[in-house]
A and B are shown apart, each in its own frame.
Chain A
Amino acid sequence: MSTFLGMPSLPVFGTGNLHAAESFPTAAHRELGNAQLRANLGHATHTIRDKRLQVVSELPDWEQLRDAGSAIKESVMARLPELLEQFEQNFTAHGGVIHWARDADEANAIVAGLIRDTGETEVVKVKSMATQEIGLNEYLEEQGITAFETDLAELIVQLDHDKPSHILVPAIHKNRTEIRDIFLREMPGADPELTDNPAVLAMAARAHLRRKFLTAKVAVSGANFALADSGTLAVVESEGNGRMCLTLPETLITVMGVEKLLPSWQDLEVFMQLLPRSSTGERMNPYTSLWTGVTEGDGPQNVHLVLLDNGRSAALADELGRSALHCIRCSACMNVCPVYERTGGHAYGSTYPGPIGAILSPLLTGIESEENSSLPYASSLCGACYDACPVKINIPDILVHLRSVDVDSKRGKKKLPSQMDVGMKAASWALSSGKRLGLLEKGLPLGRLAAGPDQKITKLPGIAAGWTQSRDIPAPPQKSFRDWWAKEHHGPESGGTNAPAQGNAPADAHNNAQAKAQDKEDGA
């Protein structure tokens, strides 16, 4: 039995679609086997990557914009409670209604309740990460409410009963022939003569969606930004479906993570330059919708906002990880990530894939949740994501931080230490003293012996087998540099330069003998 003490215990971790159900290496192994996926992803990510580079290079103050974006977000996180209250005050003053949701379950229940109050059983949806994070569509379905995605790519994914694999282009893993087949199979009234021409496919989707827009009484959206000083919400999109959803229905319900706040209208200037360039590689996105509560006689007359925590307070409490909350969901990091490019988004399990997902998901859920502890290791730490991030989230540093949180969380809990634990401990002992390392290096000739006549090591046991599955290791040298330095290096000779050195070449013995003889002659 629990006693209510009047205060929620912190941190409240996130629930919903934030968890990897299997470890990243296992999921990645499967996804890597999908040649079609890799070809689609390679093509799509490279195209967006090049477009982004081009439009970013046009701006002489791009780096200053990134600095500004980072600084604004940092200040938002530092005064989040105060800004949230300011926003609530302004939004409410303009006729909007604010709801606070601690986690996915609370948010889902609030949205379903609001829809039930209207008496409707169908809603149209604007593409939104927050509603995917909480699994809203699935929850509504259980409640007898059907949610229709209206973003073209989201529609494709929904019709195919699939999951998005990219936060900006959710159907990046499908090609146009697959899309035609999905339309023919799942879209009511689709022309049986439908071709895989992109324009034809778009028109088919348009006709299908237009019927929904004109009949829907309730829309559900996310939000890209919320402006505290005016109580305004913003949705940034490309297709215009969002504008339809935000203006035509009578009731508008928005679900937004608490971190999306910006202090003022002025700050939007920075982010409207950063976001389109970073996400679609466009100078400006086609549609930006802004609304402040209710406008009498124009647009939805019932306007709600569900402010979602779902682990954000927990992430904010992590000093070294909190800047992951600066993310504006542009997806630039996944488009440049060599890991994402090869595995696709599904390998990350969570709604948030790619480099940002590898840090955000475990921050929101806690590192010990299901298989999320494998996510921070899904990176070679190449740093491309940090360079591309418009708000300068140092993703590699946070990945490394979360790895240490993971390792520390397991200390003393395992019955037997892992191979990695044992190896790291031994390496720590060996590599924290020049003497000890020097002593171990005396064993290098043994490695040469093990390498055999072709002088390469091709098979190693245990975790090192991961290396030798696709790589050889060369035979080690006869002696270490340290050994050579101590015994054979005597500094430069005046004016002299060249002398063959002792390496691991077959001629070593000969060279060494020569060197020693020479040293004697020199009186060294």
Chain B
Amino acid sequence: MRIALFATCIVDAMYPRTAQATVSILERLGHEVVFPSGQACCGQMHVNSGYLKEAVPVVANHVRAFDTEDYDVAVAPSGSCVASVKHQHPMVARSCGDTALEARAAAVGARTYELSELLVDVLGVTDAGAQLGSYFPHRVTYHPSCHGMRLLRLGDRQARLLRSVQGIELAELPEADQCCGFGGTFSMKNADVSSAMLEDKTANVRSTGAELCTGGDASCLMHIGGGLSRQGSDVTTLHLAEILASTAEAPASVTGDVRVSTGKATR
């Protein structure tokens, strides 16, 4: 299968390892990964902050990048960005009266998948240890991000994949379904409420005794990790793609010196 990677802006600029890990997983399964070079961002920061007019060129750019490329399905390591592509892009196009863009956006959205959704529903991954060689001998807790859980209805796909990683010890996160308080510009506009939500989330993370907290959205993980860092905690965050890409030969560590396998760059 030819799979187009939507890296998402935050992963592209801040967490390249997450996208590299996504590439690695897909190539290991024998698929060809392409990276439409015109891509930038899904535009949900603009939409969710009320700047619909400013979101239009961002959305148009994404649609252009992804409907000119030849591929079977598109994937992004983010529930939130995929939800934006699927649900917000047609709405943004409609808001500016561009019916052609609306139709193209809907077509791109229809074949865009969140990573765990693609792995489980399309590529048939049920056992990450056996099928991907995933190996991660650490105590981990998992935060299911709101948009993956409530907008995409990912259910337990991410948790099932994590549980099937060799060597992993998954500690259940209390109040896991509660928002971490990120919410894009909410974290700045309503910084006090956002911080109060984060405080409870990080306390729950620390209570599990896990070495790290994983999840499917780099933005939420940046938020939770940023809070843990400020609190002086040793607990870190790591995207689930990096855990799935970690193998016994090239293990990812929890402390940042992460060595994941991707393609053939070195041998």
Is the CB of A318 closer than 8 A to any CB of chain B? Answer: no
Are the CB atoms of A434 and B37 closer together than 8 Å?
yes
Are the CB atoms of B229 and A474 closer together than 8 Å?
yes
Q: Considering only CB atoms, which chain B residue lies closest to A462 in the complex?
A: B188
Query: Per-position contact with A for B91-126: 1 when CB-CB < 8 Å, else 0?
Result: 000010000000000000000000000000000000
CA distance A518 to B60 in the complex (A): 39
Main SS at interface, chain A: helix
Is the CB of A476 closer than 8 A to any CB of chain B? Answer: yes
Is the CB of B7 closer than 8 A to any CB of chain A? Answer: yes
Is the CB of A463 closer than 8 A to any CB of chain B? Answer: yes
Q: How far is the CB of A30 from chain B (nearest CB, A)?
A: 10
Q: Considering only CB atoms, which chain B residue lies closest to A477 in the complex?
A: B16
Are the CB atoms of A471 and B264 closer together than 8 Å?
no
CA distance A463 to B185 in the complex (A): 9
Are the CB atoms of B50 and A406 closer together than 8 Å?
yes
Query: Within the complex, which residue of B35, B193, B260 is in contact with A378, where a contact is CB–CB below 8 Å?
Result: B193
Known interface pairs A25-B190, A432-B61, A501-B24; A471-B198 also in contact (CB < 8 Å) = yes
Query: Within the complex, which residue of A342, A498, A515 is in contact with B193, where a contact is CB–CB below 8 Å?
Result: A342
CA distance A515 to B265 in the complex (A): 6
Is the CB of A143 closer than 8 A to any CB of chain B? Answer: no
Are the CB atoms of A477 and B14 closer together than 8 Å?
yes
Query: Within the complex, which residue of B13, B223, B260 is in contact with A480, where a contact is CB–CB below 8 Å?
Result: B13
CA distance A522 to B177 in the complex (A): 48
Are the CB atoms of A432 and B182 closer together than 8 Å?
no
CA distance A196 to B267 in the complex (A): 73
CA distance A483 to B24 in the complex (A): 16
**Inside 8 A of A424's CB, which chain B residues have their CB?**
45-46, 49, 51, 54
Is the CB of B146 closer than 8 A to any CB of chain A? Answer: yes
Are the CB atoms of A400 and B47 closer together than 8 Å?
yes
Interface centre among B19, B52, B225, B267 (most CB of A within 10 A): B267
**Inside 8 A of A198's CB, which chain B residues have their CB?**
none
Is the CB of B128 closer than 8 A to any CB of chain A? Answer: no
Query: Within the complex, which residue of A338, A343, A466, A505 is in contact with B188, where a contact is CB–CB below 8 Å?
Result: A466
Q: Considering only CB atoms, which chain B residue lies closest to A469 in the complex?
A: B191
Interface centre among B53, B151, B227, B262 (most CB of A within 10 A): B262
**Inside 8 A of A482's CB, which chain B residues have their CB?**
7, 12, 35, 37
Is the CB of A234 closer than 8 A to any CB of chain B? Answer: no
**Inside 8 A of B53's CB, which chain A residues have their CB?**
408
Is the CB of B127 closer than 8 A to any CB of chain A? Answer: no
Q: How far is the CB of B256 from chain A (nearest CB, A)?
A: 6
Is the CB of B157 closer than 8 A to any CB of chain A? Answer: no
Is the CB of A470 closer than 8 A to any CB of chain B? Answer: yes
Query: Within the complex, which residue of A427, A466, A500 is in contact with B191, where a contact is CB–CB below 8 Å?
Result: A466
Is the CB of A379 closer than 8 A to any CB of chain B? Answer: yes
Are the CB atoms of A476 and B13 closer together than 8 Å?
yes
Q: Considering only CB atoms, which chain B residue lies closest to A522 in the complex?
A: B264
Within 8 A of A (CB), among B203-244: 222-223, 225-227, 229-230
Are the CB atoms of B229 and A456 closer together than 8 Å?
yes
Query: Within the complex, which residue of B186, B195, B198, B230 is in contact with A377, where a contact is CB–CB below 8 Å?
Result: B186
**Inside 8 A of A458's CB, which chain B residues have their CB?**
230
Is the CB of B261 closer than 8 A to any CB of chain A? Answer: yes
Are the CB atoms of A428 and B230 closer together than 8 Å?
no
Query: Within the complex, which residue of A383, A405, A431, A466 is in contact with B151, where a contact is CB–CB below 8 Å?
Result: A383
Main SS at interface, chain B: helix
* Residues of A in contact with B, size category: 35 or more
Is the CB of A99 closer than 8 A to any CB of chain B? Answer: no
**Inside 8 A of B38's CB, which chain A residues have their CB?**
433-435
Chain B binder among A187-195, A269-277, A506-514: A506-514
Known interface pairs A338-B179, A432-B61, A437-B40; A471-B263 also in contact (CB < 8 Å) = no
Are the CB atoms of B189 and A377 closer together than 8 Å?
yes
Query: Within the complex, which residue of A387, A435, A493, A504 is in contact with B263, where a contact is CB–CB below 8 Å?
Result: A493
Are the CB atoms of A32 and B192 closer together than 8 Å?
yes
Known interface pairs A380-B186, A441-B12; A496-B265 also in contact (CB < 8 Å) = no
Are the CB atoms of A464 and B188 closer together than 8 Å?
yes
Q: How far is the CB of B184 from chain A (nearest CB, A)?
A: 8
Is the CB of B173 closer than 8 A to any CB of chain A? Answer: no
Within 8 A of B (CB), among A455-503: 456, 458, 463-464, 466-467, 469-474, 476-477, 479-482, 484-486, 488-493, 496-503
Q: Considering only CB atoms, which chain A residue lies closest to B245 in the complex?
A: A501
CA distance A403 to B146 in the complex (A): 20
Q: Considering only CB atoms, which chain B residue lies closest to A411 in the complex?
A: B53
**Inside 8 A of B15's CB, which chain A residues have their CB?**
477
Is the CB of B78 closer than 8 A to any CB of chain A? Answer: no
Known interface pairs A437-B40, A482-B7, A518-B266; A498-B186 also in contact (CB < 8 Å) = no
Query: Within the complex, which residue of B16, B45, B47, B259 is in contact with A427, where a contact is CB–CB below 8 Å?
Result: B45
Are the CB atoms of B60 and A432 closer together than 8 Å?
yes
Query: Within the complex, which residue of B20, B50, B197, B249 is in contact with A342, where a contact is CB–CB below 8 Å?
Result: B197
Q: How far is the CB of B20 from chain A (nearest CB, A)?
A: 4
Q: Considering only CB atoms, which chain A residue lies closest to B17 in the complex?
A: A503
**Inside 8 A of B16's CB, which chain A residues have their CB?**
477, 479-481, 484, 502-504
Are the CB atoms of B146 and A383 closer together than 8 Å?
yes
CA distance A471 to B198 in the complex (A): 9
Is the CB of B131 closer than 8 A to any CB of chain A? Answer: no
Residues of B that sit less than 8 Å from A by CB: 7, 9, 11-17, 19-21, 23-24, 27-28, 30, 32-33, 35-41, 43, 45-55, 57-58, 60-61, 65, 95, 133, 146-147, 150-151, 177-179, 181-199, 222-223, 225-227, 229-230, 247, 249-250, 256-267
**Interface CB pairs A-B, < 8 A, 6:** A338-B181, A400-B47, A434-B40, A441-B12, A491-B33, A515-B266
Residues of A that sit less than 8 Å from B by CB: 24-25, 28-29, 32, 338-339, 342-343, 376-384, 386-387, 400, 402-408, 420, 424-425, 427-437, 441, 444, 456, 458, 463-464, 466-467, 469-474, 476-477, 479-482, 484-486, 488-493, 496-507, 511, 514-515, 518-519, 522
A29-B192, A425-B54, A502-B20 given; 12 more Cβ-contact pairs under 8 Å: A339-B193, A382-B183, A424-B49, A424-B51, A456-B229, A466-B189, A476-B14, A481-B19, A499-B266, A500-B259, A504-B256, A518-B267
